Structure 1
Amino acid sequence: MYEELFGIIPPLVTPFRADGSIDEGALRTETEYLIATAKVHGLAVCGSTGEGHTLSTEETRLITSVVIDTAAGRVPVITGIIANSTAAVIERGRAVRDLGVAALQVTPVHYVFRPNDDAMVRHFDEIAAATELPIMIYNVVPWTYLSPELLTRIIDEVEGVIGVKQSAGDMKLLADLLLMSGDRARIMSAVDALLYPSFALGAVGSIAAILTAAPTLCVELWDAVQAGNHKKGLELHEKLLPIWNAIFDDNLPANTRYCMELQGREGGIPRPPMPVTSIDQKGPIREALLNAGLI
């Protein structure tokens, strides 16, 4: 079930203009590039790379609508929701329900007050029931980071939860989650630095910023691992890791845009207060892309 969610699913940046509006033309162009040229397997919008924490419900619907319309059924589209209450998540989920999204990618709450485990289960249960959409848990928020045990409990108890996007850099947690969940859920890796071992361990794909920064290399990596060509997989890993090391910072969405810019793709600017890529950051990013053969 939900086998269409697999492989390389880049999280799109949101192309903001200087006045804060969304450049729909740039969004359509990038969507078309990722599908037709990079040959990705799906798309995700309004996540961390898309600065989903800054978006309104209306903007979430607009972005989702534009990308689904441009994709025209060629790949599935996932909508991200980063919000701090069950009601707020439900509002956004219902706002995109009629658009044909494949799933919602939902974080636990990201403010400082952590729900206990029972409340966390209820949170995702109520979202799934009220939106009537499949839910993929985006396990990324440090102070509400969900253990493999809790994630497996949610998968088993909440019918609408179909998978997890496992973030942060701990491969042991990813491996434990893959082992505990078995074939009951779609486990996607967001361990950007270690996609090669993630795929080798059995992750069904990835939703991660590095996919947007270097989509063609990531598709090559996925294909290599699926074909059992681990020599090529390791070679691609060694190209991708320096790119991740160069872009990983508090302004990651801005640095992802800079990667796009260097490759001739338009990503707009980040939404304030996030700063643009600095002069000090630009040199290492350019060098990493050059060494990877992307520019």
Structure 2
Amino acid sequence: MNSLDENGNAMAGMANMANQPVLLLALSALWGASYAFIKVGVETIPPVTLIAARTLIAGAILVAVLRLRGLGLPADRRIWERFALQACLNSVVPFTLIAWAEQTTDAGLATILNSTSPIFAFLLTAALTRHEAVTGRKLFGVAAGLIGTCLIVGVEALGGFGHEMGAQLAIVAATLCYAGAAIFSKSFRGLDPMIPAAGSLVSGAMVLVPASLIVDRPWTLAPSATSVLALLALSVFSTAVAFVIYFRLVQTLGSVGTTAQAYLRVPIGVAIGVLFLGETLSSTAWAGLACVVVGVVAMTMPARKLG
């Protein structure tokens, strides 16, 4: 029986390892698309209301799916306190900051600034939490991914740096929140990934909906159909689905490895432009894509076990 259990565990582990690259790509695509959805959404929906609706819709979807699966959210107050902290780090603060910043910040520069979450996750892990191994390979991956991101987006994207310093600092603050969220997410080990995803979104909505009612008086707004569609896509795909994938990856891939999706968003966005918009890649962009791939592999490759 023990050998059968060990074989079953080994097969499950191999299946998880095989699924990780696919899930990481899916998360990168879903969160990479969120910037476009936000850009369209804030054209006629104020940032606080957009993000309040995003968390409310996504949270409601996940709660409904949990009930269909015969599961429910826990009643333990201490877990809800953790959900609330996770919501602040992963949705309430960063979602709002990015939505506000995207009203004035160029997409290229925003991509560079927001792709630095692996760096913050690595530094926080090395300096404070030490909850997973800090290796030279991961440090190399962090550096290679950042260099690749800059090469893909292009040095000219840095031309606007400093012109909208407040918005740019807001994106950096959001990125730091994402790094902290990836580390704190490890505390939900053992829970079905959909439970912390739903719990944190519900907690976020409890903060953001009252703020929206006070700040924006949403009943007075007249959003365009395009903005509403962008909001729905943002809520369903880039939030509800993405959060479930995110919490699963944090448990199986680790905090630093999961933040590697911040780098992958850039080549995915470029690929969309090449395939659907007829854009072309420069030689530096191809070099940057190679750096990103190398960096992500370095950060996500499982450590070899001796013996």
Same fold (TM over 0.5): no
Identify the structure with the greater helix proportion: 2
TM category, shorter:
under 0.3
Which structure carries more relative contact order (alpha carbon 8 Å, separation 6+)? 2
Identify the structure with the greater strand proportion: 1
Q: Which structure's CA Rg is the greater one?
A: 2
